[in-house]
Chain A
């Protein structure tokens, strides 16, 4: 494997985000509240896993390795996804709020990334943006139906909001590496997207009869490989079979 540079590191970050969340969403398959939701969850998981694959494949060409080596042979400390993506699926409220937060972010992010100076990233962003538009329509719709459904669903949704609220900051943090890439016209300034994101969330919560959590807090560390305790276990399960048979084809 070649030493990673800024661009390959950046592509890996986006790949890890998609990989880890795709893996989490796929845990709903055969476990969803009804068949319609089961099928929709599998669909979204497939989009994320497809996105992860495109990004890993791109990083692999730069790093002289393979998509599977990148997905299966790196440990939790080497994974650089943002923390919100890796959290266990929780109940349907937790997964819905997480999805809505990330979809609302991604739709803004990938819309911009289409203009990246890196042609490969721009192409991946164009495909991803289309999917994100559908994802955010679905997750926003679920936010409203579950927020304004029953007392129980409303209270579960509010709890999920409280539990996820502090993870949102990390979505908008630009470190040195990404700042450099922004100056080269490759990456997007995350912080710039926050006002639009805040407005979209506020607008949805009002319609969903939910409120912005009172307590704010900030946890971050995903880009530096400092994760929740959950990621390691998720990767153990995901990587075990691949690692037990080194060098074979599946």
Chain B
């Protein structure tokens, strides 16, 4: 054990000096496993997150909205792909990660277990869910693992378009007919609290946080990031002249931040545990596509094999 100490010191020193850890560098096993957990969960979230919005591609209310939504959902597939590739640098395959997702061993953002019920949900998801994701991802651009940090930089560029298209949907609904406004308010009512939950438990209750901060996998705490999100979102909601469903929300002059009410952590843990509307549907959808595509993937592999063989023979 002792002979590991210089390496560990060296590793921590690099991190303290804000240097990036690269795939070939020595790293503690716990750091590697922690990253695999966090990065694969992040990749799964991109992919599972395609479903609630993908649900509305076929019935988007205008050609323009259909095209914008489709390209947004396509981006999420791309994010999943970069993140799986970045995670593979830690010595795990995409197939293994897929299997862990499908068995439930590996998680995805629990917010995608909520159903997207109306067109306004597409707006609310883009505005609030992508909005919350951006706050987190901007912070992760400075994460200590090189491939993860670089994936975040690429992804963040596209995320701001996602949030804008979501907010733009909300603007149009808010300026629209009474039924459209009502639809928008209803979506905000359902997505606001789950968006706040996306940042995870309070710092005092967060199990993985301290070590992750020391290794600079996480750069800012859950509560700091959540506050940042609330502060930016309240003002955006005021422009819409719609309401966030929190009677305790108010500006705190002293803190220079918005105060907000207590999150229903019981609901948070209930949904994670499997008591959300869509926990089963999301995995079922993923498994179905994967199974139905098995023969295609096998054929592609077989063809590549034949082609290589013919090349050798020639």
Which residues from chain A sit less than 8 Å from chain B, CB to CB? 23, 26-27, 29-39, 42-43, 45-46, 49-50, 52-53, 56, 67-68, 71-72, 91-92, 144-146, 148-150, 152-153, 156, 237-242, 245, 248-250
Contact = CB atoms under 8 A, between A and B. Distances in A.
Interface string B49-90: 011001001111111111100110110011011001000000
Contact of B67 (A53, A91, A145): A53
Contacts of B292: 31, 33, 91-92
Interface string B274-294: 000000000001001110111
B47 A35 contact: yes
Given A49-B66, A150-B298, A29 B74 contact: yes
Contacts of B57: 26, 29
B250 interface: no
B70 A249 contact: no
Contacts of A240: 59
Nearest to B289: A31
The residue among A42, A50, A52, A241 with the most chain B CB atoms within 10 A of its own CB is: A42
A145 B63 contact: no
Contacts of A250: 61-62, 64-65, 119, 169, 172, 176
A178 to B, nearest CB: 25
Contact of B63 (A30, A37, A71, A144): A71
Interface in B173-220: 175-177, 179-180
B77 A38 contact: yes
Interface stretch (B3-11, B145-153, B241-249, B299-307): B299-307
Contacts of B64: 53, 250
B33 interface: no
B87 to A, nearest CB: 13
B293 A46 contact: no
A33 B296 contact: yes
14 contacts: A26-B66, A30-B73, A32-B289, A33-B297, A34-B293, A34-B297, A35-B81, A39-B78, A46-B70, A149-B302, A153-B296, A238-B58, A245-B61, A250-B169
Contacts of A71: 63
Contacts of A245: 61, 177, 179-180
A149 B103 CA distance: 29
A59 B6 CA distance: 73
A248 B176 contact: yes
The residue among A31, A52, A240 with the most chain B CB atoms within 10 A of its own CB is: A31
B299 A32 contact: no
Nearest to B78: A39
Interface of B: 47, 50-51, 54, 57-67, 70-71, 73-74, 77-78, 80-81, 84, 119, 169, 172, 175-177, 179-180, 285, 288-290, 292-300, 302-304, 306
Contacts of A34: 293, 296-297
B170 to A, nearest CB: 11
B177 to A, nearest CB: 5
Contacts of B288: 31
Contacts of B70: 26, 29, 42, 45-46, 49
Nearest to A43: B74
Given A45-B70, A245-B180, A68 B62 contact: yes
A26 B58 contact: yes
B72 to A, nearest CB: 10
A52 B63 contact: yes
Contact of B71 (A46, A52, A238): A46
A12 B84 CA distance: 43
A206 B271 CA distance: 53
A241 B56 CA distance: 10
Nearest to A243: B61
Given A26-B58, A29-B73, A32-B289, A145 B303 contact: yes
B48 to A, nearest CB: 9
A71 B60 CA distance: 12
A134 to B, nearest CB: 16
A23 B62 contact: no
A10 B252 CA distance: 63
Contacts of B54: 29-30
Contacts of B169: 250
A148 B306 contact: yes
Contacts of B176: 248-250
B309 to A, nearest CB: 12
B111 to A, nearest CB: 17
A42 B299 contact: no
A238 B56 CA distance: 9
The residue among A29, A43, A68 with the most chain B CB atoms within 10 A of its own CB is: A29
A123 to B, nearest CB: 19
